[in-house]
Structure 1
Amino acid sequence: MLQPEEKFQIIINSHICNETQKIIQHLYQPIIGVNAASLYFALLNEQLSMKVFNLDNTHLRLQNLLQLSLLEIEVARNRLEAINLLDVYHNNTNIGITYYYELFSPMASQEFFNHQQFNQMLINNLSLNDYERTKFLFIQYQEDMSSYKKITKCFNEVFSLSIVKADYSNADFVFQKNHFPETNKQSLEVPGGDMKNPLQKKIYEMQTISPYKYLTLLQNYPLQAKDLQLLTKLLVTYTLSPEVTNCLIEYVWYKNNKLLVVNYLEKIASTLQQKQIITVEQAMIYLRTAYVQSFNKRKVKFNKMVKKSKFDYEITWNADIFPKWLQEDPLYQT
């Protein structure tokens, strides 16, 4: 439970543009509620004022600004966390600043509408007329293309499917959506899954399941066109092996609260390609090491911002957010 006298600092490491207010108000607020939206803008504005006055803030100030109870503020904060607009860090020593709130920019409008879960939640919370009206607000002017003929070449016209199959015999390259069976499974299960070591079982799954089926099972619904394009890019453009592709998509899926953030995923894929990582064991070691190093860098950065005391916190592995294999120490040598 939050306390009125507890202090907090606000950090903004992502670019928040002029379109943010419009996106939060029209796309996010119907999902997270007015209290959470108000808290987001209050934290954003307080971060600017804290730069000017160089003062710490307390939850009591948030109470006064928002005219909300501490419980209402905590519920609003949790909603921002759940929808990837806020990360929260807590200092267990209770000396000096006890919280760090890191604000993130919202999705771009087109990315939001293309996001199946968020878009569906918006539809559920608005009437059909209000949804169409909201979507119209974000339609940008487009050139009249009616007199043009589309001549873009498709994948099969540029690449030889037989060559791709020869390179990735386990990839199960099938591009028709109806070739992917729907599944109601809640977890990945394969023959041979009775292995006693959970890590060995996970490695076996990543090595033997095609990325297309793996992502289908991970998301628990049939692949969309954008999913097929993404997997094709990972396997063909970035030349990742199927097992490394499986490891990467699971890492990004869980690290981003069961979302595939494309830019983030492609950035890691490029690094894996440069480092010539070709096995799932190598990928697991790299991803876990990279995550721990990133966490430690942020810890050092936060400590530099704290004047009076050391900001002392450690990684906490939430089983619902991080896959089991990411939490364990590397067991293999690259």
Structure 2
Amino acid sequence: MDVIGKLLPIEGYHVLLKGDLPFDYAKSLTHLYQPLIGMEAVMLYQTLLHEMDLQQETRDQTHHTLMNYMNMPLDNVYKARLKLEGIGLLKTFEQQTEEHNSYTYELQCPFSPSSFFKDEMLTQLLHHHIGRDKFLMLKQNYDKETSRTNEANVTASFHDVFQTFQPSPDEDVLVNSPNGSSSSASDMDFSWMEQILKRQMIPAEKVLTPENKKLVSQMMVLYDLTTLEVEKAVLWALTDENSLHHNEFKQACHDLFKNKHHQATVKLTERTQSVENDKSNKKPLTKEEQFIAELERISPKQLLEDLSNGGQASGQDLKVIRDIMTTQGLPSPVMNVLIHYVLLQTNMKLSKAYMEKIASHWSRANLKTAREAMTFAKKEQADFQKPKPAGKYNKRSNSSQEVVPDWFKERKKKQRQVPKKESENNQNHDEFAALLQEFSNGNQK
């Protein structure tokens, strides 16, 4: 994460505390929060907390003071601040002045040990970080039944700072929400889930209680699940009385995660991109670039459904695609281009033999991205349309005049009518790029 210039030593800060600290907050910070955010973030929280007694009302402290107190470079202080913001222990408010910026750090009270285990997301994260035996020991010990106008909120959210798994080099990190884009749990729209439950004749108001909505949104973010996967987990965890069984739902989400990412661990890690870079969306310049970006992002199943105007992809088509991808080793973006190309050539039918023939060619060409596949397909098409030079044996001699019987003429006439479909396929070749742009326009709407 690039943090150079995000914070200056001369910039001042003022500390506030929101609410009252639980009497055993130190136990929470040490045993429950520290495994998630690290020692430096906990140390920054403690330093800010105890510095409130020393700060002067007329003069802010500078961040140079924090560097000296913690014996830490400023970039580490900034990273620790982001972790506190992401985990919910700090809110930061920035005030811009002519000289330099100043900040108000509003400390949020940590959960008491017993309250910590009532937060499903933090509980699951702690379980994955410290292991089952240590987690059960802590839970048994702590989980007991007990009873500004000119400031802008610039607090980093959980998704800006953390990701819950370490992706492979060729795997994109995207937290899915019902509308297909990255979103926070508080902004999640559950209308899609209500429609699914109503179609299943299940009372949505009984399932989608505020508590269950919070659990569903947290597990969706934690395990990087799509709406379809969340639907499966919810339906799996419903009891006979149409209530959501929390433990079964959490286990179902974890199993879906392991099947999706082929790994058994969930761990809180820092995002490799800066917060500002995540928030700035650089859109492709041309429609073709937009379509290439779409082919890089979506799955072959989603592409088939988009081309079917939202209809479900058939199991037979998915089996054909699966077999070709596994046997030929084509990446998903290349497979997307192949699917679209074959559909254009075969009047929107998936011909397995035709796909296998092209896939083997593309596999030998070692195509890795959608852009490479489209460029390769266009080049092949351009070579196909080049006029072939006529050889000396292809030229008919005008000197000899043969007598052709009528039945032979009729047969030739019928043969000339058969390749009409082939000419239509050639026309589809010519319209390939145009149809790609047309499809990208449809996705933009």
**Could you tell me the TM-score, scaled by structure 1's length?**
0.45
Q: Which has the larger radius of gyration?
A: 2
**Could you tell me the TM-score, scaled by structure 2's length?**
0.34
Question: With CA pairs under 8 Å and 6+ residues apart, which has the higher RCO, 1 or 2?
Answer: 1
